[in-house]
Chains A and B, each alone.
Chain A
């Protein structure tokens, strides 16, 4: 990395450290009125009362965990069905200046599931979605899917910090408040900045132009800036264009690259502070933040430092891969000179650790060990810092496992935030941690032996395996980024990836809510000399170690057969 690269990374870290207490403190007030009224409370309360009246929501009524989970299920089911129908009939709807037809069933299924589950895996390319589908279908779910994730995280925090109660809050209230008070204001401001930098925002049809070299080019239009802001701010990642954040209309320059990376990280990191505030113990939040931060920064530095070194095979045949006045240098396949190698590494490391899945370079073209980095980031379970809400509750599940392991070491009943962690919670924690391994490895293994599925990878050997494993890892963890190289719009991949996305979103959330429901009923156990403190660097180190060990034991074999074999064999 060059000095400007290091300075930009340093600025990003400072921006995160400034954002976390400000945004995290604000979000704590949004979700916990006992901490004080958040800014703009009178205005937002009026808007929310209108929404509740329109939707028939009793905002005063709190829900037991299973009712909270069934509300989430009902909302997701209706959302998937409505979006499926909308995509099928988009050719008959308005705001379709390019006259795109309705989308075929398998692709509508995959896309509807993808956007409702906050995955934003895009098996479709450019020239498919009408402006109405982009705005009222995809962008709408960018907001509400992120809000649903935040709602589950907040319910889980309440389960941890409340005592002797049956309820975790109200799903509809938590989701509405997330949209009105956090996502809409943040993305409105971000959209304005993106617009100022050249991201387009219009309802134009595509225009055909003749270039100076005599070629014919289609210049697309569309409401891109508004969608771009929530694409990053809600860790959705679905680009208006197939090229995603490599497209100059989505990401025109270095300022927008920086802003988009910050947007990806802002809410997930800040929710750790929200957790600390709601727990009335900020140290707890900072410990979770530190574990997330080290995981994020470590993998990011690996990718950002490997890519500028270039491909050793090209060096061996005499290619100059150094940075010069006429070339950006390094491993430059699949990258854009505007963005560069190091920024690609920072973006790639951030997008795969945040469940965003937006891309600023082609991950399929990364060096094998960099590709492994993006894959392992998702295999952590999107906890470094993960998606809106899903990152926090994922890391807190690892925290419960860490206190359980610590308890086993010293022969004591484990406790977290003054709650005893017992067999019923640990059964669900184990289930939570086993679900991804079951779905990702089973479906990837099936794809390896089914001839129809084997036609899709563009590469044979370990790289082809990486492409398939990456797809299922991305789908289950609701990341949505594609390694590239995999022809995913087939009946097999559209269907199986759709099922895996649903499973990866819904089943872990149910388990998390159940754990929260179980913990909320428990009494508070005061800390004693024998209590393992969880607000210390020691616990942060244990948490970090538990994540590495669990993920390593689960996925090391498949990562070995893919990118590590590719690196050792030198076939790239």
Chain B
């Protein structure tokens, strides 16, 4: 019985960890948006920002 409980804890943790991977992926957003060409700002714009 104890064996089942500890194996269940291990598998449950890794299930949650896999969900955490999905959560982090949603935080950083999709690749396509980031990899799309962005206009390069000039030095003066960057300094003003």
Contact = CB atoms under 8 A, between A and B. Distances in A.
Contacts of A511: 24
A530 B46 contact: yes
Given A73-B18, A510-B20, A424 B6 contact: no
Nearest to B34: A521
Contacts of B31: 64, 166, 521
- Main SS of chain B's interface residues? helix
A518 B46 contact: no
Q: How large is the interface on B (under 10, 10 to 19, 20 to 34, 35 or more residues)?
A: 20 to 34
Contacts of B35: 164, 166, 521
A424 B29 CA distance: 8
A495 B5 CA distance: 11
Interface stretch (A102-110, A217-225, A264-272, A365-373): A102-110
Contacts of B24: 66, 428, 510-511, 513-514
Interface stretch (A77-85, A120-128, A454-462): A77-85
Given A69-B21, A510-B20, A428 B27 contact: yes
Q: Which 9 A-B pairs have the closest CB atoms?
A: A514-B24, A105-B2, A518-B28, A521-B34, A109-B6, A530-B47, A77-B14, A528-B43, A424-B28
Interface of B: 2-3, 5-7, 9-11, 13-14, 17-18, 20-22, 24-25, 27-29, 31, 34-35, 38, 40, 43, 46-47, 49
Given A81-B7, A105-B5, A413-B49, 17 more contacts: A64-B31, A66-B24, A80-B10, A84-B7, A109-B6, A113-B10, A412-B46, A428-B28, A499-B9, A506-B14, A506-B17, A511-B24, A518-B28, A521-B34, A528-B47, A529-B47, A530-B47
19 contacts: A64-B31, A66-B25, A70-B18, A73-B17, A81-B7, A88-B3, A108-B6, A424-B28, A428-B28, A499-B13, A502-B10, A514-B21, A514-B25, A514-B27, A517-B28, A518-B28, A525-B46, A528-B43, A530-B47
